[in-house]
Amino acid sequence: MNSSLIPSIWRFLGLVAVQTLLLKQMGAAVDSIYFNVLLYPLFVLFLPMELSAPIAVLLGFAVGMAVDLPYGTPGVHASAGAFSAFAKPIVIAVVGPKGGFTSKELIFSPHHVSWQTFLQGSSLFFFLHLFWYFSVDAFTFVYFSSIIFKTVAALFLTMIFVVLYAAMFNPKR
């Protein structure tokens, strides 16, 4: 097995476990439609940059399905995970250096890019993920203002957890 896959496998298992066993319960305990912390997209964000787009989208779909099963939301998280994997290269191109990244930046993490770049990129990445998630969940743009409000509220809460995760683990590969 490729040694660069091992951290991604552990990250997949860990983030799905945290999302389904801890964060889902926190949301249920607060009993608020505005308390949503979705940390599992970090798996997609921390996938190697040189990974091909179809494989990344498939892995995004897989992590979303792994979260959909315990949440009882068939396809909602899977759709958002696949969309996020599709959007990741665009986000990195927007916030990254003009010439692109070199091969030494294995993943988009504070270890390989500055904290400022990481925060800009992860904020945009999670905004897109959350907007897609709440749009698919509502299944109509009639509730556009509610979708935007939920997206912004969840983005604020999620980014707190993203910063904590990145500071504690600071993935290198």
Tokens 């904290």 belong to 115
Specify burial of residue 54 (Cβ count, 10 A radius: 0-12, 13-18, 19+): exposed
pLDDT at 130: 97
- According to the model, what pLDDT value does residue 101 have? 72
The phi and psi torsions of 98 (rounded to 5 degrees) equal -55, -40
Q: Which residue in this structure is represented by tokens 């498939």?
A: 58
pTM over 0.85: yes
**pLDDT score of 33:** 63
Contact predicate 100/47, CB 8 Å: no
- Beta carbons of 118 and 126 less than 8 angstroms apart: no
10-residue averages of pLDDT along the chain (173 residues): 76 94 74 78 93 95 97 95 97 85 75 91 98 93 91 95 91 67
Handedness of CA 149, 37, 134, 151 (dihedral sign): positive
Q: How far is residue 39's CA from residue 83's CA, in Å, rounded to a whole number?
A: 15
Kindly list the distances between the CA atom of residue 23 and the CA atoms of 54, 61, 79, 88, in Å, as whole numbers in the listed order.
29, 20, 20, 23
- How far apart (Å, rounded) are the C-alpha atoms in residues 24 and 101? 35
So what's the pLDDT on residue 162? 96
How many whole angstroms separate alpha carbon 75 and alpha carbon 136?
9
Reference 126, options 51, 31, 25, 40; nearest CA is: 40
Residue 25 is predicted with a pLDDT of: 76
**pLDDT at site 77:** 97
- Return the pLDDT at 125: 98
Closest CA to 14 of 63, 58, 60: 63
pLDDT score at 3: 64
